[in-house]
Amino acid sequence: MSLEDAFDEPAFVPYLCVGDPSVERTREYVEALVRGGADVLELGLPFSEPIAEGPTIQGSVVRALEAGVTPEVYLDFVSSLDVDVPIVCMTYYNLLYQYGDSDGPEAFVARAAEVGISGFVIPDLPAEEAGPLRDACDEHGLDLVFIVAPTTEGERLERMVELSSGYLYVQARMGVTGAKADVSDQTGESLAKVSQYDIPKAVGFGVSSGDQARRIVEAGADGVIVGSALVDIVAEHGDADGDDVPERLEAMARELSEGVAAGAENMAKPEGQ
């Protein structure tokens, strides 16, 4: 299934960093998320300087690096996964840039295509510098997702949308990732700003409950991205030797995906009448 098709119905998009606390545990966690209703998976490839992440995901990235997750380990892991939802690789540009012997991201993109990755989110790649990665993604049939901040507007926004495929990552609030108790007022405004563009819009940064997910979809989102709230569960209960995290993740995923579905239903009603 293509990434864009995954957003035909409003989609629930969970994030986990691969290798926290171990690659094998991540496999069980990911399968649990899919059972709980994940429509797309964002899987983090850990990088030493995760500047877009708040403390929760930063901690996860550090644990994954300590567990020995390199790009090669990550790609092998994705290759061995048996799930039928699209997988998006979330990482930082230098890892793509250094991969293989080539100067540029093409070698990594080629391998990513081979192992079944559908697209990328690269938070530290500015639109101005995205040409080579965009070209490589086009060549190998992958999507490239840009993050639109509340302050992104004008020509810059146009350029970002033009470069984006798969979906747009609409940042719900300023700053870095991290679960928050409430949905930011900025979400509605941010969605309105991009509503004219014909590409799925997924909202992330701070979502932590089914109720929030419902309201975000009611505000017009095509998808809801949830990272820190899930990583919190791993951070608190995860154990490389075995734990009850799969059950906890599945329950949380179910709550979130049901929130997304409830939002979609509420949206559908006024239209249907």
Partner 1 sequence: MPAVQELEDAYERYVLGNEDGFVDEFRRRLRDFGGRPTPLQRADRLSERLGCEVYLKREDLVHGGAHKLNNALGQVLLAKYMGKERIVAETGAGQHGTATAMAAAHLDMPCEVYMGTRDIQRQRPNVFRMRLNGSEVNPVSAGRGTLKEAINETMRDWATNVEDTHYVIGSVVGPHPFPEMVRTFQSVISEEAREQVREKAGRLPDSVVACAGGGSNTMGAFHEFVGDDEVSLFAVEAGGSSLAVDEEIGVAPNSASLSTGTEGVLHGARTKLLQDSDGNVVESHSVSSGLDYAGVGPELAHLVDTARVTPVNVDDDAALSAFHLLSQEEGIIPALESAHAVAFARANPEQLGELTVINVSGRGDKDLESVIEETEKRELENAPSMDVFGRAAGDGGGI
**Residues identified as active-site:** 42, 53
CA–CA dist 164, 32 (Å, integer): 29
Interface residue with partner 1, options 48, 80, 102, 266 (CB under 8 A): 48
Identity of residue 223: G
3-class secondary-structure state, position 21: coil
Stretch that binds partner 1, among 31-39, 43-51, 187-195, 209-217 (CB under 8 A): 43-51
Interface residue with partner 1, options 34, 95, 117, 133 (CB under 8 A): 95
Give the residue with the Cβ less far from partner 1, 65 or 199. 65
Q: Does 52 bind partner 1 (CB under 8 A)?
A: yes
CA–CA dist 267, 261 (Å, integer): 10
Q: Does 103 bind partner 1 (CB under 8 A)?
A: yes
| Phi, psi angle pair for 162, to nearest 5° | -60, -40
Q: Does 132 bind partner 1 (CB under 8 A)?
A: no
Q: Does 54 bind partner 1 (CB under 8 A)?
A: yes
DSSP per residue, 139-185: HHT-EEEPEEPTT--HHHHHHHHHH--S-EEEESSSSS----SS--T
Indicate the burial class of 207 (C-beta count within 10 angstroms; 0-12, 13-18, 19 or more).
buried
Stretch that binds partner 1, among 111-119, 147-155, 187-195, 227-235 (CB under 8 A): 147-155
Is beta strand 41-44 parallel, antiparallel or unpaired with respect to 11-17? parallel
Give the residue with the Cβ less far from partner 1, 12 or 93. 93
Stretch that binds partner 1, among 35-43, 91-99, 131-139, 233-241 (CB under 8 A): 91-99
Stretch that binds partner 1, among 7-15, 148-156, 240-248, 251-259 (CB under 8 A): 148-156
CA–CA dist 112, 138 (Å, integer): 13
Q: Does 156 bind partner 1 (CB under 8 A)?
A: yes
Binding footprint of partner 1 on the chain (CB under 8 A): 47-52, 54, 58, 62, 65, 70-72, 92-99, 103, 124, 126, 149, 151-153, 156, 174-176
